[in-house]
């Protein structure tokens, strides 16, 4: 398998906010189990099949710490097993009304149950760790709860980044050298945080590179390398107007049989209300057609880069993992065909680490403030629609720092402060502002942001009032519901403050 045309990197970003014990449907735990069943299981199956053929360095896989915490959590593992069994049961009860749909869903549910019980029953970390240890994927880390970093005080941003990297190291046995910064959010200077944390590579969106995504670049003044998404290639899939998932023959994500929850229709047409029945054979033909088209687009892009630059180029396409299977039912099959066809077309398929090793790093760049959201700026997370969320986040960060700075340096861990740090981290998740701005379950997002923000306020009001016993009791109640990141140690914020004070002298 040669790479005469150039190099291609596929990057998948796996992320959901903390959903465990915070509602089930229509937004809540069901979101987690749907993504797990329809994206994480089949995408990993694709990786295992290709690995069995001897393939290595297939793609770069980001798994955020907050998602990993759920995929490893005993509560979520038990609930996921029950959810899969319920999926199979729903297929049984739908048989008389929709026999073909029921048979198809029964086979899918039975396969998912078998895969879960054989491969995932002890959590996701053994699954991802084996893929990384065998060289099948490069794993990325990130900040603990996916906060939008550019809007955070530096000390809080660095605390959550280090906490997330430590969490990944505990689960996977190694500290990641690459990250997917939440929302590809970047502000000038963040590269120094990355360098200090041992991060050597990260992603930005293509416009942050001013469209020059044909190579990776060190960010000015550091050895930290930035990769830019090639939007011309990426949008062949991602574009809401012309992306492959909107093709007429694919299963329609939005059209339900409400009695069963199944999706028995194909897209048919963008403005067609009466949807045609889903036809797996038509969908399979569309997968083959669109996979071949995508490979052709990548090859032409690489040839254009070689013509313009006089040397082999790099294409980075990056997507949310949940697109493949959850949102786009046929996505995993498309993914498998693309990863099979690209090497046969003369494209070197590798990871971000592999791209560095292959020499696709060129001159340093100075990056502007940016994100991968609308406008490629910060408006999704800092716009008028979420001004109250932003103000609340500012208050959360201020209260967290004031609380840890306001106590004598403890000899041991302080469970109240540690719980405060976890609740602050959950409140600062970028998902809440995104969901509000995009009007996607905005009511749930506002409720979640407010709940964690109120817990931060309650604890930070109790502590300075000397009501330590009440604070400890309430912290224990919060920790019982949100029992993730037990290693997150609030003393790290105090140590960071002390280092900054010494450096300033």
| Strand boundaries in 246-346, DSSP class E | 314-320
Concatenated DSSP letters of 8-69: EEEEEEE-----TTS--SSSSHHHHHHHIIIIIHHHHHHHHHHHHTT----EEEEE-HHHHH
- For residue 350, what are the β-bridge partners? 9
Exactly one of 183, 191, 252, 290 is catalytic; which is it? 183
Two tokens at 83? 């959810």
Q: Closest Cα to residue 489, out of 63, 144, 141, 124? A: 144
Residues β-bridged to residue 10: 317
Residue with tokens 């140590």: 495
Residue 489 known to be catalytic? no
Percentages (nearest 5) of helix, strand, coil residues in the chain = 55, 10, 35
Give, to the nearest 10 degrees, the angle between helix 41-52 and helix 331-344. Answer: 30
- CA 395, 401, 403, 406 torsion-angle sign: negative
Contact between residue 203 and residue 197 where contact means Cβ atoms under 8 Å apart:
no
* C-alpha triplet 304, 305, 308: angle, nearest 5°: 85
183 is catalytic: yes
Which one is catalytic: 30, 320, 395, 483? 320
Per-residue three-class SS string for 359-391: CCECCCECCCCECCCHHHCCHHHHCHHHHHHHH
Q: What residues act catalytically? A: 183, 320
């Amino acid at each position: 398998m040669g790479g005469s045309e150039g190099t291609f990197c596929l990057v998948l970003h796996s992320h959901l906010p903390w959903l465990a014990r915070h509602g089930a449907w229509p937004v809540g735990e069901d979101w987690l189990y749907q993504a797990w069943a329809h994206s994480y299981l089949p995408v990993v199956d694709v990786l295992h099949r290709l690995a069995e053929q001897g393939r290595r360095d297939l793609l770069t896989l980001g798994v955020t710490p907050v998602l990993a915490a759920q995929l490893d959590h005993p509560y979520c593992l038990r609930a996921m097993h029950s959810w899969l069994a319920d999926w199979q049961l729903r297929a049984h009860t739908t048989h008389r009304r929709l026999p073909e749909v029921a048979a198809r869903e029964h086979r899918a549910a039975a396969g998912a149950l078998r895969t879960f019980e054989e491969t995932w029953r002890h959590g996701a970390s053994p699954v991802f760790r084996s893929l990384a240890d065998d060289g099948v994927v490069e794993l990325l880390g990130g900040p603990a709860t996916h906060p939008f970093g550019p809007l955070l005080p530096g000390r809080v941003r660095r605390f959550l980044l280090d906490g997330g990297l430590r969490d990944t190291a505990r689960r996977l046995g190694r500290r990641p050298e690459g990250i997917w910064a939440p929302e590809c959010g970047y502000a000038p200077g963040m590269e120094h945080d990355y360098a200090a944390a041992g991060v050597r590579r990260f992603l930005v969106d293509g416009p942050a590179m001013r469209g020059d995504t044909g190579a990776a670049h060190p960010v000015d003044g550091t050895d930290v390398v930035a990769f830019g998404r090639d939007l011309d290639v990426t949008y062949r899939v991602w574009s809401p107007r012309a992306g492959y998932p909107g093709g007429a023959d694919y299963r329609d994500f939005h059209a339900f049989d409400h009695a069963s929850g199944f999706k028995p229709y194909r897209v048919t047409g963008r403005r067609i209300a009466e949807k045609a029945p889903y036809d797996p054979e038509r969908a399979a033909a569309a997968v083959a057609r669109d996979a071949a088209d995508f490979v052709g687009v990548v090859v032409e892009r690489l040839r254009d880069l070689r013509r313009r630059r006089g040397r082999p180029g790099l294409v980075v396409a990056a997507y949310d993992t949940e697109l493949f299977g959850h949102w786009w039912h046929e996505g995993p099959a498309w993914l498998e065909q693309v990863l099979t066809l690209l090497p046969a077309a003369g494209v070197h398929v590798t990871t971000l680490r592999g791209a560095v090793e292959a020499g696709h790093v060129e001159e340093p760049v100075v990056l502007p403030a940016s994100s991968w959201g609308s406008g490629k700026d910060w408006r999704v997370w800092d716009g008028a629609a979420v001004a109250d969320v932003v103000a609340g986040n500012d208050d959360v960060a201020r209260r967290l720092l004031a609380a840890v700075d306001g106590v004598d340096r403890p000899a041991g861990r302080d469970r109240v402060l540690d719980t405060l740090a976890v609740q602050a981290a959950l409140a600062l998740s970028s998902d809440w502002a995104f969901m509000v701005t995009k009007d996607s379950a905005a009511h749930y997002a506002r409720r979640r942001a407010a709940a964690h923000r109120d817990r931060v306020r309650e604890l930070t009001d109790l502590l300075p009032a000397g009501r330590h016993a009440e604070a400890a009791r309430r912290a224990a109640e919060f920790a019982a519901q949100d029992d993730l990141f037990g290693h997150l140690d609030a003393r790290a914020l105090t140590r960071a403050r002390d280092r900054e004070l010494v450096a300033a002298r």
